[in-house]
């Protein structure tokens, strides 16, 4: 791809799904919603908004964010950067979240991204990215970004790929989605596949869903590029190796392949390896 594809706001919009509880990331997500967990010192939600924003999806007319679990934190974080859909009760899932936004989508196609998807491309010519989902789209087919399966016998994917965080849905499918719990696999992707209307765009970079502490740590280390990534406002006097240290954190002990959240503390004499530290009292093993 040579550059961003111009977005016609009357034809396509974007939705970043951010309502989930992040149960597999607990106890990290007991304190903040999954959408606000930092990767490379940038909240997952901000990463997703920047990715769709680079394609022209900016502002509340072009991009929407849904929220539910600890939704007040998401609402404050987003502000006026996007249209907000706050789901009452329990999260509605990927399908229900999009269905609840039907009036806002209003006959447009929609680029849907999962907030927990971490994508990174390397090199000057990284290969297809989410921009490829839009390139030459006919407005009728369903498109998925996919990472090629390493096991040819894996039957859980789509055309030899597993889902890599983003899909492009035409209005004809979105218009039928109810605002009730459901997932896009069953309501859109598999039906489109059965009808011969599903296209998979292969993603050649790094993709992780960051849904477990192990994958969350791996995404952070990837974002750090094999080195330590230290926020300028952090105080780091201890040893650090391939770690990510957030704003206002204080590290006096030793950290190796670890993530230290903003404002967290690592005391003198502590030694963290393959771990995530939150505050001064919560350490989550990530291997």
- Cα separation, 38 vs 31, in Å, equals 13
pLDDT in the model for residue 103: 96
| Residue 139 exposure: Cα atoms within 13 Å on the Cβ side | 6
Cα–Cα distance, 189 to 149 (Å, whole number)? 17
With a pLDDT cut of 70, the percent of the chain lying above it is 92
**Sequence-separated (6 or more) residues with CB below 8 Å from residue 232:** none
Q: What is the pLDDT along the chain (287 residues), one digit of tens a residue?
A: 344 445 565 699 999 999 998 899 999 999 899 999 999 999 999 999 999 999 999 999 999 999 999 999 999 999 999 999 999 999 999 999 999 999 999 999 999 999 999 998 654 444 468 899 999 999 999 999 998 887 666 666 888 899 999 999 999 999 999 999 999 999 999 999 999 999 999 998 889 999 999 999 999 999 999 899 999 999 999 999 999 999 999 999 999 999 999 999 999 999 999 999 999 989 999 97
Helices and strands (DSSP H and E) totals, the chain = 9, 22
pTM of the complete model: 0.92
The whole-angstrom separation of Cα 287 and Cα 274 is 6
pLDDT digit string, tens, across residues 20-55: 988 999 999 998 999 999 999 999 999 999 999 999
Nearest to 107 by CA among 171, 17, 14: 171
> In sequence order, what DSSP letters do the residues of 55-75 get, joined into one string?
TT--STTTEEEEE-TTHHHHH
Cα–Cα distance, 20 to 69 (Å, whole number)? 6
Number of neighbours of residue 10 by Cβ within 10 angstroms: 10
Report how far residue 180's alpha carbon sits from residue 234's, in angstroms, rounded to the nearest whole number: 43
Place of tokens 């002990």: 253
Picking from 243, 234, 223, 163, the residue whose alpha carbon sits closest to that of residue 198 is 163
> DSSP string spanning 224-269?
TTTS-EE-TT-EE-S-EES-EE-TT-EE-SEEES-EE-TT-EE-TT
Per the CB < 8 A criterion, the answer to whether 50 and 39 are in contact is: no
In this predicted structure, what is the pLDDT of residue 39? 96
Per residue in 226-237, is it b (16+ CB within 10 Å) or e — as a string?
A: eebbbbeebebe
Please list the residues that pair with 229 across neighbouring strands: 244
Residue with tokens 């009728």: 140
């Amino acid at each position: 791809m040579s550059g961003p594809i111009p977005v016609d706001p009357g034809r396509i919009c974007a939705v970043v799904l951010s309502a989930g509880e992040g149960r597999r990331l607990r106890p990290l997500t007991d304190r903040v919603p999954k959408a606000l967990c930092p990767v490379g010192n940038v909240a997952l939600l901000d990463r997703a908004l920047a990715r769709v924003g680079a394609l022209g999806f900016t502002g509340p007319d072009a991009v929407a964010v849904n929220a539910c679990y600890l939704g007040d934190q998401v609402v404050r974080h987003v502000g006026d950067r996007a249209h907000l859909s706050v789901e009452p009760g329990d999260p509605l899932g990927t399908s229900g979240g999009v269905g609840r936004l039907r009036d806002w989508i209003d006959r447009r196609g929609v680029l849907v991204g999962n907030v927990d998807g971490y994508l990174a491309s390397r090199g000057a010519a990284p290969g297809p990215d989410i921009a490829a989902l839009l390139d030459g789209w006919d407005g009728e087919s369903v498109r998925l970004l996919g990472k090629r399966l390493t096991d040819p016998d894996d039957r859980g994917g789509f055309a030899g790929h597993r889902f890599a965080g983003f899909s492009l849905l035409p209005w004809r499918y979105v218009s039928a989605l109810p605002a009730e719990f459901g997932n896009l696999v069953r309501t859109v992707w598999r039906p489109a596949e059965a009808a011969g209307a599903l296209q998979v765009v292969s993603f050649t970079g790094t993709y992780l869903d960051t849904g477990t502490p192990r994958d969350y740590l791996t995404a952070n280390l990837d974002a750090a590029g094999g080195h330590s990534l230290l926020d300028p406002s952090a105080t780091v006097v201890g040893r650090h190796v391939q770690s990510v240290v957030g704003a206002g954190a204080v590290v006096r002990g030793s950290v190796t392949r670890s993530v230290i959240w903003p404002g967290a503390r690592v005391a003198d004499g502590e030694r963290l390896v393959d771990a995530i530290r939150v505050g001064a009292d919560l350490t989550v093993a990530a291997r």
